[in-house]
Structure 1
Amino acid sequence: MSMDIKQIQDLIKFVAKSGVNEVAIEEKDFKITIKTNQEPTYVTATVPGQPLVQAAAQAPAQVTAVNPPPVEQTAPAKTAADETAKYITIKSPMIGTFYRSSSPDKAAFVNVGDEVKSGQVVCIVEAMKLFNEIESEISGKVVKVLVDNAQPVEYDQPLFLVDPS
């Protein structure tokens, strides 16, 4: 049995949501262990003849702890919320490190004010030494970049706000 990156990501999400502290899968040529507890989750996968691979994933409990406590909304705050409601969010399909360009000396894939088309590469998310091009699923104008370059991102974390009009 060999697992691809998507299966490993799905397993990480399942373990994080299930509340289980540890899952280990071992076959003759493949071993994966996922451990959780309010600390970051570490995945270790070993395949004979290949180097050790590790990926860090935040436990969902930590993500909610980072959110500020609810604040009573006033009329201006509601207006701001209504304005952002018309925008569509491009989210990270995986856990990894967010990059706005293909290399440090290259221009960003997209900037605020740029028009994007469905299928256009908007950023790269690096996960376990694999650089995954993230494509826009919608067409529109980039209104806001929500993540700083070279920052870690979570699965389903908003990356860009796009005005589809």
Structure 2
Amino acid sequence: MDTTPERDRPAVAELSDLRDAIVEVLTSLPRPPSRLRIQAADVGIDIRWEEEPAPARPGREPAPVTAAAPVAAAAPAPAELGPVLVAPSVGVFYQAPSPGSEPFVTVGTVVEAGQQIGIVEAMKLMIPIFADRAGTITAVLKADGTPVEYDEPLFALAEQV
């Protein structure tokens, strides 16, 4: 039951529309920004990315080179995995309700439709991820704390028959 007072419903609807527009903008970006600033009155949006490291100047020590992360083997295509449960938004994927807590699900967990299976954090909003069908988790496709895109596969699922 919606308990929002009648006078506040247009404002709530506008906030929902604004959230949807922000998610749409974020999903269209080539990579996650380091900063996103939104101004509600008179609209406005400011998206920034971390700058690339500046080249070393003559007479200065070059910036330390960090080792590249090892390249993981290519993940199987979603069609090879069977049904998948996907990210509801762009953001950072978390497997547990809080740091140090047990994950919502692991490989072998039997889930019901509507059961919470993870969280995506987007602009300080914690968006729950719910299973859209019943089944058994057969693979966790993204590591905890990693960026995800809208509709990106997070879990493989063997559906119950």
Which structure shows the higher strand fraction?
1
TM-score, normalized by the shorter chain, greater than 0.5? yes
TM-score range, shorter chain: 0.5 to 0.7
Q: Which runs of 5+ in 1 are unaligned?
A: 17-35, 57-79
Aligned length: 118
What is residue 4 of structure 1 aligned with on the other side? 18
Partner residue, 1:106:
101
Instruction: Provide, for residues 89-146 of structure 1, a one-character-per-residue CA deviation record: whole Å limited to 9, x for no partner.
Output: 1111111000000101211000000000000000000000011111000100000000
Q: Residue 144 in 1 paired to residue 144 in 2? A: no
Q: CA-to-partner distance for each residue in 1:64-110, whole Å, 9 max, x for gaps?
A: xxxxxxxxxxxxxxxx87x935x211111111000000101211000
Q: Which residue number in structure 1 is paired with residue 91 of structure 2?
A: 96
Aligned pair partner of 2:38 in 25, 33, 45: 45
Q: What percent of counterpart residues are identical?
A: 30
Q: Relative contact order (alpha carbons < 8 A, sep ≥ 6): 1 or 2 greater?
A: 2
Deviation at 1:47, TM superposition (A): 3.9
Any stretches of 5+ residues in structure 2 without a counterpart? Answer: 1-13, 50-75
The DSSP-based 3-state class of the residue aligned with 2:147 is: strand
Counterpart Cα distance in 2 of 1:114 and 1:104? 20
Runs of 4+ in 1 over 3 A off after TM superposition: 38-43, 52-56
Query: Aligned letter for 1:141?
Result: T
Q: 5 Å matches for 1:67-146?
A: 84-85=80-81, 87-146=82-141
Give a deviation string over 1:19-49, Cα, whole Å, max 9, x none: xxxxxxxxxxxxxxxxx6x66556431247x
